[in-house]
Amino acid sequence: MCGITGWIDWEEDVTRQSAVIEAMAATLRYRGPDAKGIWLSPRAAFAHRRLMVIDPAGGAQPMVYTSGSRTYAITYNGEIYNFRELRSELESRGHTFGTKSDTEVILHAYVEWGEEFTRHLNGIFAFGLWDEQRQRLLLARDHLGVKPLFYAQRGSAVIFGSELKALFAHPRVQPEIDRDGIADIFGAGVIHTPGFGYFHDVHEVRPGYQLVFERERTRASQYWSLRSAPHPDDLETTAQRIRALLKDTVKRQLIADVPVVSMLSGGLDSSGLTALAASEFRSEGKQLNTYSIDFVDSAAYFTGNDMRPSLDGPWVTRVSEHAMTRHHTVTVDTPELLENLLVPLYAHDVPTMGQIETSLYLIFKAMKEQATVALSGESADEVFGGYPWYYYDEVLTTNTFPWLTMFGRNGSMRSLPSLLSNDVMRQANPQEYIARRYQEALAEVPRLEGEDAEAAKRREIMYMGLTRWLPILLDRKDRMSMAVGFEVRVPFCDYRLVDYVWNIPWQMKTIDNIEKGILRRAFQDTLPDDARMRRKSAYPSTQHPSYIKGVCDWALQIINDPNAAVRPYINVDTYRAFADKNNPVLSQDFAIGPLERLIQLETWLKEYHIKFI
């Protein structure tokens, strides 16, 4: 993985602006700690920070390919899992290669197939590609949006980068927030809007899209989307097809020239992938290393609920022994969580989640000591329908994002709107904003003609999870892993699997009267039955009183500071009552979230010099 950034300008000679492009690249140094490079032409400046994973010697970037009088350049972040097959096909069409890298394959694919080339790619990627002869910039992002890519158009210029901070290093892009930004950051924060870049006139390349920028026009095209159709296969054929797809995907995603490990929570998703990966390792005479997160005194303070009915530890041991992995538990304590609470802010450049991101950062930091790449079970719940909210009766009748039904059941979440000041509520109107974003998402759902009302509603619910919830988790995983120069691969995001599972009927997805029943069937010969049938348990969080106290103390310092930057945007009295260490709500899973976000908001307003317009 890597950090990429670039500046295209049809009026200014950017060869004279190496200092600016260097500054943009420097903001991404932790994404690519192994090497750096820039490439300059009169109209285009590309920069790259590299994390070496494939072809360390030959994969340097930005990469330039010249064919006759034509020159092409690319700065690229990601992995193309079918690059070997593509390379063979391109060689049969007369192409010759100077490296063993997937980066070079992308360049040659563009030369061979033009703008249709993204349809040939299977992987996780974000890149900028410059066609010198046509004076054309192409930005593209992978099917599910695993890798990030932001851009802004300013006059004659297009400025892009892996993260927002790279854009802010350019003098033409300022951290300005408009009404929608206020509504999202201060009031919503629980939905992801594809294409929305939080800041005024800053955008995100949507998953499955490519953008073409030319002097006179900009074109957007969608190279991949979900297509609804009747599911053709019976139960056994479906389970076999899923198993075959996952085996192939895991095998592809183990390709690397650096050590690869696996995350293992003891849940169905990571356990199934771990077992498949461990089998591949054993076939090569190797043992897979696995990692899990735990918290000091987690058993003493654990309280089960819908999202987390059981502790992970015993199940991690069960699956590790079954798959014969060498397991490592990373145990995190309160001081580490508090010391790193602002890491997610600096990684996202906007306030986000608290310890659920901080602990992920800490486990990746530990994993980085032994490896560079890991497999993760992220996205199986969105692809197969694994969260508790998919099973609430009210989701079939409520016209909003389905996970908000869970927040509505949680006392701490119900109080969120009252935490904002009257001015923010009036100006941003978070409820209206959420309703508008929901209607936008609803209009995109690919319908299936003849589907009954419940099946159609289920399709809507699944679409919301894949396009408005999953990106939050993918962003979290990307930023926390890349913050330590670590690559995480997500086999359940293989678009072939997503395409196939999308049209499996709900009754088949939940076969055996359990969430992700069809996935459990697919893992029937892969996992022991007790682990395979373990109920869904969400990513863990600490419920330790010392962490709650630490966050409350920090938040109260801000709340009680008359000069706090966040003060005009919050309901001070309500926040003060909420931050009371004796508030019983705070012992609930994730209930501390509003206070963690408050702490990040205060730092964000001060250090990012936010301007409201």
Give the Cα separation of 481 and 490 in Å (integer).
Answer: 12
Q: Residue 84: enclosing H or E segment and its boundaries? A: helix 83-92
In a domain, 411, yes or no: no
| Residue 422 is assigned to a structural domain of this protein | no
Catalytic one among 2, 20, 107, 558?
2
Query: Which of 525, 607, 535, 524 is closest to 565 using CA atoms?
Result: 607
Both 171 and 247 in one domain: the answer is: no
pLDDT of 320-336, one tens digit each? 999 999 999 999 999 99
Q: What pLDDT was estimated at residue 409?
A: 61
134 contacts: CB under 8 Å, gap ≥ 6: 214
Domains contained in the chain, number: 2
Instruction: Quote the pLDDT of residue 408.
Output: 61
Domain identity same for 197 and 343:
no
Query: Do 246 and 214 belong to one domain?
Result: no
Unique residue bearing structure tokens 């809007």: 193
pLDDT of residue 412: 46
Across 54-79, average pLDDT:
91
Angstrom distance (rounded) from CA 395 to CA 538: 19
Q: What are phi and psi of 36, to 5 degrees?
A: -145, 160
Q: Are residues 200 and 122 in the same domain?
A: yes
**Inside any domain, residue 597:** no
Per-chain mean pLDDT for the chain: 94
Residue 86, CA distances (Å) to 24, 83, 548 in order? 32, 5, 52
Instruction: Tell me the three state secondary structure of residue 502.
Output: helix
Last residue of a domain, one of 479, 504, 532: 532
- Sorting pLDDT into bands at 50, 70 and 90, what band is 188? low
Q: Catalytic annotation on 2?
A: yes
Determine contact, residues 140/118, Cβ cutoff 8 Å.
Answer: yes
250 and 208 assigned to the same domain? no
Q: Residue 129: enclosing H or E segment and its boundaries?
A: strand 123-131
pTM: 0.96
* Res 299: pLDDT: 85
Max Cα distance, the chain (Å) = 73
Is the residue at 407 inside a domain?
no
What confidence tens digit (pLDDT) does each residue in 414-448 have?
Answer: 445 468 888 888 888 888 999 999 999 999 999 99
Domain that holds residue 260: 235-393+471-532
Same domain, 274 and 218: no
Residues 200 and 265 in one domain: no
The answer to the question of residue 604 being in a domain is no
Determine which helix (DSSP H) or strand (DSSP E) holds 441, and give its type and residue range: helix 430-444
Structural tokens at position 9:
């300008």
Report the C-alpha gap between 374 and 569 in whole angstroms.
40
- 442 assigned to some structural domain: no
Does 411 score more than 80 pLDDT? no
Mean pLDDT, range 95-124, rounded to an integer: 96
**363 and 250 share a domain?**
yes
Domain boundary pick from 532, 553, 579: 532
In the listed set 504, 532, 560, which residue is the last one of a domain according to the structure?
A: 532
CATH of the domain at 255: 3.40.50.620
Residue 164 belongs to domain with CATH number = 3.60.20.10
In tens, the pLDDT along 147-171 reads 999 999 999 999 999 999 999 999 9
Convert the pLDDT of each residue in 532-541 to its tens digit.
Answer: 999 988 888 8
Q: What is the pLDDT of residues 558-593, one digit of tens each?
A: 999 999 999 999 999 999 998 987 787 787 777 889
> Does residue 497 sit within a domain?
yes
Note the pLDDT of residue 300: 87
Co-location of 475 and 516 in the same domain: yes
Residue 256 domain-assigned? Answer: yes
Same domain, 342 and 275: yes
- Looking at the structure, do residues 169 and 89 belong to the same domain, yes or no? yes
Residues 90 and 41 in one domain: yes
pLDDT at 202: 98
